[in-house]
Structure 1
Amino acid sequence: MRDANCIFCKIIGGEIPSNTIYEDDEFKVILDASPASKGHALILPKEHYADIYEIDEKTAGHAMQLAKKLAKHMTDVLKCDGFNIVQNNHEIAGQTVFHFHMHLIPRYKNAKNNDILIWDHEEFTPEEMAEIRDSLKM
């Protein structure tokens, strides 16, 4: 199902033009219109899922398999020096379009934006780490 108000659903449906680099029955992969680097692309499932919490496990797995395949291909073609695969959920985490998508970001030495995805490390006491670990055990 698609969301009539979703820009990515409109791109998938052909209502908005895009620079498509890959498409199959389940996904469309486009170049990001506001790229962080040369070749920055987005993996878009053709079905609408707001985020990681809504997407079914099978589609999420296929998205990661496609990300691996494209990362290898893009690295070979673009000769990038590294690669980020990023998937944001909710506004606080940087999600701006609420349609599940994965960013494929080729990285180049001495390029602009080499500081993206760098954060200051937080420190926790051993007791706090144990408490966090215990609360997260499944």
Structure 2
Amino acid sequence: MTIDSNCVFCKIIKGDIPTSKVYEDDHVLAFLDISQVTKGHTLVIPKDHHTNVFDLPEEASKHIFSVVPKLATAIKQTYEAEG
């Protein structure tokens, strides 16, 4: 796993910054945003560091986007989120 010590998301993945974890597997971490715009606002990030979405390998993108619909459904039900 690639980690950047200056990256806030890498610090979250390492556990240096506490989060309200919603989902985690070997490749992805999902957690509630600390500055939620709406109820249930969740961030889904790869556990491997990438500078931006354009650097994300295709397999990582596929995995993230396979997880998102399941999370969205659970968050909508749990938080009565509008979408």
> Does residue 28 of the first structure (1) align with residue 47 of the second (2)?
no
Show structure 1 runs of 4+ deviating over 6 A.
none
Find the counterpart in structure 1 of residue 11 from structure 2: 10
After TM superposition, the structure 1 = structure 2 runs for residues 71-110 of structure 1, keeping only pairs within 5 Å, are 71-81=72-82, 83=83
> Once the two structures are aligned, what percentage of the paired residues are identical?
37
- What is the match of residue 66 of structure 2? 65
CA shift, 1:17, in A, is: 0.9
The 3-state SS of whatever aligns with 1:70 is helix
| Match in the other structure for 2:46 | 45
Count of aligned pairs: 82
More helix by share: 2
The code of the aligned residue for 1:33 comes to I
AA of the residue aligned to 1:6: C
The root-mean-square deviation of aligned C-alpha atoms, in Å, is 1.0
SS at match of 2:22: strand
Q: CA deviation at 1:79?
A: 2.3
Please give the TM-score of this superposition, normalised by the length of structure 2: 0.91
Larger radius of gyration: 1
Structure 2 counterpart of 1:38, which letter?
K
State the match for 1:96 in structure 2. none
Q: What is the distance in 1 between the residues matched to 2:70 and 2:36?
A: 20
Mind listing any 5+ residue stretches in structure 2 that lack a counterpart?
none
Structure 1 unaligned residues grouped into runs of 5+: 84-138
In 1, Cα distance between equivalents of 2:61 and 2:72: 16
